Structure 1
Amino acid sequence: MGQVTIYLEEEIELKMIKAAESANLSKSKWIARLIQEKIAKEWPQSVIDMAGSWSDFPEADELRANQVQDIARESF
């Protein structure tokens, strides 16, 4: 397992400590979890679980139905 040293301003460190404590995690585990979230290539399970939760949300085809073609961009 790798080991990393980071330097934080005091105010940021205090906020990080409070966040780690409220999550019942060590500072190291809290930081590792944050990094894992940032580098993840898939949606978190909590987001996947919400798919289809809004019964009145329009389908993609409905959303795209009113789109118009973009105008041509100016060249540089």
Structure 2
Amino acid sequence: MSQITLYLDEATQALVDQAAVASGVSKSRWVAEAIRRYAHDTWPTDVLALAGQFADFPLRPTPPEPTGDDLPRLSF
């Protein structure tokens, strides 16, 4: 198991201490769980459950009508 050193200000350290005690776990386990909860690359299940729940929600805006001729572009 790898180890990591965190430098926390006193207020943040107090929050970690209080949260770990309230959760009934060690500070190390609490921090590891917080990292797993917030550092993953998938959407939370609550967010995924919202997919398709709003029938009138537009998936794409209607593209705007052209307003005129395009301007000449510089060549490279």
In which range does the TM-score fall when normalised by the shorter chain? 0.5 to 0.7
How many residue pairs are counted as aligned between the two chains?
Answer: 66
Can you give the 5+ residue segments of structure 1 that lack an aligned partner in the other structure? Answer: 70-76
Identity among equivalent positions (%) equals 29
Can you give the 5+ residue segments of structure 2 that lack an aligned partner in the other structure? Answer: 67-76
RMSD: 2.8
**TM-score (normalizing by structure 1):** 0.57
* Larger helix fraction of residues: 1
Counterparts of 1:20 and 1:46 in 2: how far apart (Å)? 25
Pick 1 or 2: higher relative contact order, CA cutoff 8 A, min separation 6. 2
1:13 to 2:13 alignment: yes
Alpha-carbon distance, 1:36 to partner: 2.2
Pick closer, same or farther for the CA change 1:56–1:18 going to 2, 3 Å. Answer: farther
**TM-score (normalizing by structure 2):** 0.57
Structure with higher Rg: it is 2
Alpha-carbon distance, 1:60 to partner: 0.3
